[in-house]
Amino acid sequence: MRRHAELLVDSSRRGRATRPGVRDGCTDFRKHVAWYLKGFPVGSELRRELAMIDSLAQLDDLLGKLDPAEPFPVATLGQPRGRTNSPGKVFLPDGWLASRDDDTVPEGAELADSGG
């Protein structure tokens, strides 16, 4: 988990000041916490705290609270992690695929909002 967070921080730092890179990388890492902890008896409070980190130091502190002797939850192997429901239905503007040879963009396809 720590290495993944470091890589996200390093990626976020490129072309920016140091602090925003750390904050942005840690914020990006938050979405991966549930995936890493699936099947482990961590407790809701620690899971919540890990999903709210703002710094690598905070991550280190919270990772120190995990039990390193806890065996890997083999029962979770092969089970889906993350989104398991089907993706939403895609709606295209009228006429978008009327002809595969027509490169004209249908009117309204370039609107600033998705219409949803």
Per-residue confidence (pLDDT) for residue 100, from 0 to 100: 76
The lowest-confidence range among 14-23, 25-34, 43-52 is 14-23
Q: How confident is the model at residue 110 (pLDDT cuts 50, 70, 90)?
A: low
- pLDDT tens for each residue of 34-77: 889 988 999 999 999 999 999 999 999 999 999 999 999 888 88
Token digits of residue 70? 């806890």
- Check residue 85 and give its pLDDT: 72
Tokens of 71: 């065996």
Which region holds residue 25: left if phi is over 0, alpha if psi is between -120 and 50, else beta? alpha
Q: What's the first-to-final CA gap in the chain, in angstroms?
A: 35
Q: Residues 92, 49: contact at Cβ < 8 Å? A: no
Report the pLDDT averaged over residues 85-91.
75
What is the average pLDDT score of the chain? Answer: 82
Nearest in space to 57 (alpha carbons), one of 88, 32, 25, 80:
25
Query: What is the model's pLDDT at position 55?
Result: 92
